[in-house]
Amino acid sequence: MAWMLLGLGAVLAVIVVAPVRLRAEVNSTPARVRVELGLLWGLVRFALLDSARPRKPRREAPKAKAKAGSWRPPKQFLRLLPGAALEALGKIRVETCRGALWFGLEDPAMTGELYGRLAAPLAALGGGRWLRLVPVFDRETLEGEAELAVSLVPARLLPLAARLVWALR
């Protein structure tokens, strides 16, 4: 029995310490959105959202009536929430962030002017590393694609979660 509890504790420790990876891809042509969750260093992956996959029709659940004395979180919890959200964002590691935008206006001169006005501020912000602008002079178009991958270790969020749960009491 002790070995079984020790084994279960080890499995839970690995799950809490192993990074969780969230990857999102968006394409405009063909229109597609895919969000994928990777667990245990990416060994276990599954799609949370895939617009290319056919959907099953959902049944609508009966609506529950609102109670007169509904629960509200304490004020201390609500005061901690914005700071906790920023702290949680600080614990997230951005692995990949890149995108491309193809654009064209009806007049090629206007396309060039827009490209010139957008390229300088984007370069000053370091956007050339994560966003690529591509002017299209032969047609009107607005197309794009983007990819974002972030990871976090759930154990790093435990102290934050404990503070929030403590504020709920």
pLDDT at 144: 93
pLDDT at 62: 72
- 8 A C-beta contact, residue 98 and residue 126: no
Q: What are the contacts of 35-39 at 24+ separation with CB within 8 A?
A: 39/15
pLDDT at 138: 93
Q: How far apart are CA 39 and CA 151, in angstroms?
A: 10
pTM (2 decimals)?
Answer: 0.72
Q: What are the contacts of 133-137 at 24+ separation with CB within 8 A?
A: 133/100, 133/101, 133/103, 134/100, 134/101, 134/102, 134/103, 135/102, 135/103, 135/104, 135/111, 136/102, 136/103, 136/104, 136/111, 137/104, 137/108, 137/111, 137/112
For residue 136, how many other CB atoms are within 10 A of its CB?
16
pLDDT in tens, the chain (169 residues): 788 888 888 888 887 888 889 999 999 888 889 999 988 877 888 888 888 777 777 777 777 665 666 778 888 888 888 999 999 999 999 999 999 999 999 999 999 999 999 988 888 888 778 889 999 999 999 999 999 999 998 889 889 988 888 888 8
pLDDT at 36: 92
